[in-house]
Amino acid sequence: MSDENSSCCNLTGSEPTATRSSAPMWIIVVTLSLLFFGGLYLDSHSGWFDAKVYAPYNSAEKLEVFQPKSGTAAAMARGKGLYEGVCGICHGSDGAGKAGQAPTLAASEWVTAISFNRLAHIPLAGVNGPMKVAGKDWNMAMAAMGAALPDDDLAAVLTYIRTSWGNNASAVTADDIKKIRAEIGRSPQAYTVEQLKVLPE
């Protein structure tokens, strides 16, 4: 301890003791206002700690608003993606078919028929033997390429091929596919054109 300090402090050698004194008012005001504005900020930015809500979305409702619309547009986008992955390898991403691999889907009477019943049987069960497509004769086999797709996905693909490349036929729904799949049953034989033509339009 230096001499300068000894004059101002009462050093008796005993341990210092704490006495009670009231907290200054400004600390209470600052603390409460910090809590208040913190609460406001939390309310508007936290998304209530929802695991699905990230900035820039600040609430579950806001996130919901930005979900891309379902419906035709979504089904078309889905159908296009699946078509290019599953069907387009042989039928071409432009739907024009490939010589020696697969016939055209664009302007094909099988694809654009008013009812899609016969069309839906082809990816679900496969088709075999001679077939006339858009005036051209084919004699090949197609496996049941669509049998493994879920109903809504296959419906999206069929909707896509029925409304693309100048085709303008009606959309196919998942319920339709479900019904047709049930009619065909499990592990079906590939259809021939004669068998397909027996089916109702």
Partner 1 sequence: MKTGFSVFAAAFIALGLSWCGLVYAPIQQLGGTKQTVVLQSSDKWPMQRTGDATLGLQVYRANACAACHTVQIRQTGVVHTLSITDLGVHKAVDFKAFMTSLMAVPELMKCSNSIVGSLNQWNGSVPKLLFSGEESAMVSMLGDKLKAVGVKTEARVETTGADIARGWGLRQSVAADYLYDTPVQLGSLRAGPDLANLGVRAPDVNWQLQHLYAPRSVVKSSTMPAFRYLFSVRKVGAQPAPDALALSKAFAPSAGFEVVPTAEARQLAAYLTSLKANVPLYEAPFTPITATK
Site of interaction with partner 1 (CB under 8 A) = 15, 18, 49, 51-54, 56-57, 63, 65-70, 72-74, 76-78, 80-81, 150, 152-153
The 3-class SS string of the chain reads: CCHHHHCCCCCCCCCCCCCCCCCCHHHHHHHHHHHHHHHHHHHHHCHHHCCCCCCCCCCHHHHHHCCCCCCHHHHHHHHHHHHHHHHHHHHCCCCCCECCCECCCCCCHHHHCCCCHHHHHHHHHCEEEEEEECCEEEEEEECCCCCCCCHHHHHHHHHHHHHCCCCCCCCCCHHHHHHHHHHHCCCCCCECHHHHHHCCC
Smallest gap from residue 57 Cβ to partner 1 (A) = 7
> Is the Cβ of residue 84 or residue 128 nearer to partner 1 in the bound state?
84
Smallest gap from residue 77 Cβ to partner 1 (A) = 4
Question: Residue 176 CB: number of other CB atoms within 10 A?
Answer: 18
- Cα–Cα distance measured from residue 144 to residue 117, given in angstroms and rounded to the nearest whole number: 15
> Is the Cβ of residue 8 or residue 51 nearer to partner 1 in the bound state?
51
> Is the Cβ of residue 13 or residue 135 nearer to partner 1 in the bound state?
13
> Is the Cβ of residue 26 or residue 49 nearer to partner 1 in the bound state?
49
> Is the Cβ of residue 26 or residue 66 nearer to partner 1 in the bound state?
66
Smallest gap from residue 137 Cβ to partner 1 (A) = 34
Smallest gap from residue 66 Cβ to partner 1 (A) = 5
Smallest gap from residue 45 Cβ to partner 1 (A) = 14
- Cα–Cα distance measured from residue 58 to residue 47, given in angstroms and rounded to the nearest whole number: 5
> Is the Cβ of residue 69 or residue 186 nearer to partner 1 in the bound state?
69
